[in-house]
Amino acid sequence: MIQSAETVSLAPPPSGLRPISPGIAGIRIAVLAALFTAAALYQASHLTALTDPDSWIHLRTGTWILEHHTIPKDGLFSQYPSLPWVDSCWGFDLLLATACKLCGLRGLPVLLMVLQAAIAVALFLLAGGARKNFWPAAIVAAIAQCCLLNLQPRPSLISIVFFALELSLLLHARRSGQIRALLWLPPLFIFWVNLDHQFGYGLMALALFFLATAVEYFAPPSASPWFENRPAPAAFRFSTAVFGACLLATLFSPYTYRLPELIWQSATSTAVDRYLPEFHSMRFRQPQDYLLLLLLLSAFLALGRRRSRDLFQISLLAVAAVISFRFQRDTWLVTLAAVGVFGDRFSASQQEENSAPARPAAPWETPLAATLVLTLLAASAIRLPDRNDLLMAKVAETFPVRAADYIRQNRVPQPLFNTYPWGSFLTWYLPEYPVVIDNRLDLYRDSISVPYFQLTLAEIPLESHPGFARAQTFLFDAKSPIAEALATLPGFRVAYRDDLACVLMRRN
């Protein structure tokens, strides 16, 4: 249920305070509705979920899991079926496929709308909106959402929600000393490890929490004034046990110990580092990049104004900043860290000021806000086109639908050599033709993916690439240099071309 600024209570207000007036309560309800549904309303109008290249491989894999009732362990849908593959987000794949099975192709935007609303709620609660900080929390959550534009239906959305929940528990435990709240973390990781491999960021935050607690616990008495917290022996032992339980929880996956290996390979991949822009460092070419920098600096300023020496918050902000500014894809990490610092700051300020009790919310505020948010989300989902042909027309603006139809109808010879951005879509829309590459770089590894990117950038001879040398059909962007070059060579002919895609075949 949506939480308002204060906990709703039917008991008489303390100190004779009257509840917040209906006018102010109405404004707050409107603000919550806008905050929690703005992204979903935008999605209902623009259908950006249908333009994401990564979501199609998740949909194809989830459909395969539903059909075969097992977890994939090899290179399905590719020209390398013998390669081992760890589908670290099989739970999300299954969730996405179930949504599309129930709603058709509308399942993609519908799931994205639900997850966007969940992220908005998580940001508001992380910023302290469940306590007496409605307006500051609403402002910070709105700024954070602006920093997280262009979200797509990917497993990372699950990680954003789970990381916000984890961070709320960790900050609450340090602020209040109620460490039993940490018992929620092992179950959280059991779910998280089966939904997205970025659970590693959750382990990183937990490790920073444990290290900060250990430093404070083992520090000599003379250093105590330098630390804001000094845990009791029982609290330290409890935190250590929870940390160990969370490490064990990450083994509750069909792939067990292979997941950490996957995380390490992804972090050290040459192809990821050199050829994929979303893994490059932040270029500061968009307004939200500067807004994110402002949010981070403001979070550090908030710690400085308090003269805070909280080792956990300082280290979390620093590490998250390094990761997020190094990899554009993971800007959500420092965004949530900054929001958590603000939320903790708001709560700490109230405790320090020992302010009088705030006026309670009206009893009907929370249920009415929840009803309005759910109604707007349902109306947005109903507004989506209910015919797959209309949705496929939107898909055809980004992906080679007509070219794939030509390949299928004319049964052009295999193997197929495809362009990287369309590989995942082809695994779903053209499953009869295994792809030479798609977005699963953890499957193809550097030994396959790096030569592919070198070929498409003309860094190596065409026929030196095994996949290109044996291919009989080629599918490229119609305006790409490689398509234009091949069309002029005597050994190739253009079989199909439209404004988006070009299909070439070898001459016999």
State the pLDDT at residue 431. 95
State the pLDDT at residue 15. 47
Q: Which of 380, 407, 432 is the last residue of a domain?
A: 380
Kind of pairing between the strands at 492-497 and 473-477? unpaired
Note whether 452 and 81 are within 8 A (CB): no
Burial label, 164 (beta-carbon count in 10 A; 0-12, 13-18, 19+): buried
Whether residue 8 lies inside any domain: the answer is no
**Torsion angle defined by CA atoms of residues 328, 333, 339 and 342, in that order, rounded to the nearest 10 degrees:** -110
State the pLDDT at residue 142. 96
Whether residue 4 lies inside any domain: the answer is no
Pairwise CA distance, residues 158 & 92, whole Å: 8
Looking at the fold, whether 257 and 309 belong to one and the same domain comes out as yes
Residues sharing a CB contact under 8 Å with residue 19, sequence separation 6 or more, in sequence order:
13, 25, 359, 360, 361, 362, 363
Number of domains the chain contains: 2
Q: What is the DSSP string of 165-231?
A: HHHHHHHHHHHH--GGGGGGHHHHHHHHTTT-TTHHHHHHHHHHHHHHHHHHHHS-GGGGGG-S---
Residue listed under structure tokens 């089966």 = 194
Whether residue 2 lies inside any domain: the answer is no
Looking at the fold, whether 373 and 407 belong to one and the same domain comes out as no
CA angle at 257 for the pair 255 and 262, rounded to the nearest 5°: 80
Whether residue 118 lies inside any domain: the answer is yes
Looking at the fold, whether 220 and 259 belong to one and the same domain comes out as yes
Nearest in space to 116 (alpha carbons), one of 296, 391, 380: 380
Whether residue 303 lies inside any domain: the answer is yes
Pairwise CA distance, residues 172 & 193, whole Å: 23
Whether residue 284 lies inside any domain: the answer is yes
Q: What is the DSSP string of 123-153?
A: HHHHTTTTTT-HHHHHHHHHHHHHHT-S--S
Q: Which of 348, 380, 412 is the last residue of a domain?
A: 380
Looking at the fold, whether 80 and 213 belong to one and the same domain comes out as yes
Q: Name 501's bridge partners.
A: 477
State the pLDDT at residue 362. 67
Residues sharing a CB contact under 8 Å with residue 485, sequence separation 6 or more, in sequence order:
none
Note whether 360 and 25 are within 8 A (CB): no
State the pLDDT at residue 357. 57
Nearest in space to 206 (alpha carbons), one of 220, 192, 194: 192
Looking at the fold, whether 305 and 414 belong to one and the same domain comes out as no
Note whether 185 and 169 are within 8 A (CB): yes
Residue 207, CB half-sphere, CA atoms under 13 Å: how many?
8
Please give, one letter per residue, the 3-state secondary structure of 309-353.
Answer: CCHHHHHHHHHHHHHHHHCHHHHHHHHHHHHHHHHHHHHHHHHHH
Pairwise CA distance, residues 54 & 43, whole Å: 17
Looking at the fold, whether 339 and 439 belong to one and the same domain comes out as no
Note whether 367 and 2 are within 8 A (CB): no
Note whether 115 and 159 are within 8 A (CB): no
Pairwise CA distance, residues 415 & 436, whole Å: 8
State the pLDDT at residue 233. 86
Nearest in space to 68 (alpha carbons), one of 55, 79, 77, 80: 77
Sign of CA dihedral 442, 447, 451, 452: negative
User: CA separation (Å) from 20 to 26, 55, 125, 354, 355?
Assistant: 10, 45, 20, 20, 17
State the pLDDT at residue 12. 46
User: Is the peptide bond preceding residue 415 cis, with omega within 30 degrees of 0?
Assistant: yes
State the pLDDT at residue 4. 37
Note whether 151 and 39 are within 8 A (CB): yes
Pairwise CA distance, residues 378 & 367, whole Å: 16
Looking at the fold, whether 336 and 403 belong to one and the same domain comes out as no
Long-range contacts of 419-423 (CB under 8 A, 24+ apart): 419/456, 419/475, 419/476, 419/477, 419/480, 420/452, 420/453, 420/456, 421/53, 422/53, 422/475, 422/501, 423/57
Per-residue pLDDT tens listing for the chain (508 residues): 333 333 333 344 444 556 677 778 889 999 999 999 999 999 999 999 999 999 999 999 999 999 999 999 999 999 999 999 999 999 999 999 999 999 999 999 999 999 999 999 999 999 988 767 889 999 999 999 999 988 999 999 999 999 999 999 999 999 888 899 999 999 999 999 999 999 999 999 999 999 999 998 888 776 666 776 778 888 899 999 999 999 999 999 998 888 877 777 777 777 777 888 888 888 888 899 999 999 999 999 999 988 888 899 999 999 999 999 988 899 999 999 999 999 998 876 655 555 555 556 667 788 899 999 999 999 999 989 988 889 999 999 999 999 999 999 999 999 999 999 999 999 999 999 999 999 998 899 888 999 999 998 888 998 899 999 999 999 999 999 999 999 999 999 999 999 999 999 998 7
Which helix (H) or strand (E) is 303 found in, with range?
helix 287-305
Whether residue 386 lies inside any domain: the answer is no
Looking at the fold, whether 435 and 403 belong to one and the same domain comes out as yes
Helix (H, G, I), strand (E, B) or coil at 435: strand
State the pLDDT at residue 228. 67
Pairwise CA distance, residues 63 & 105, whole Å: 13
Give the domain range for residue 462: 399-506
Looking at the fold, whether 460 and 353 belong to one and the same domain comes out as no
State the pLDDT at residue 11. 42
- Return the structure tokens found at 52: 């994401």
Q: Which of 334, 350, 380 is the last residue of a domain?
A: 380
User: CA separation (Å) from 354 to 306, 343, 350, 351, 361?
Assistant: 16, 17, 6, 5, 20
Nearest in space to 373 (alpha carbons), one of 42, 107, 1: 1
Looking at the fold, whether 410 and 360 belong to one and the same domain comes out as no
Whether residue 29 lies inside any domain: the answer is yes
Looking at the fold, whether 88 and 210 belong to one and the same domain comes out as yes
Looking at the fold, whether 295 and 424 belong to one and the same domain comes out as no
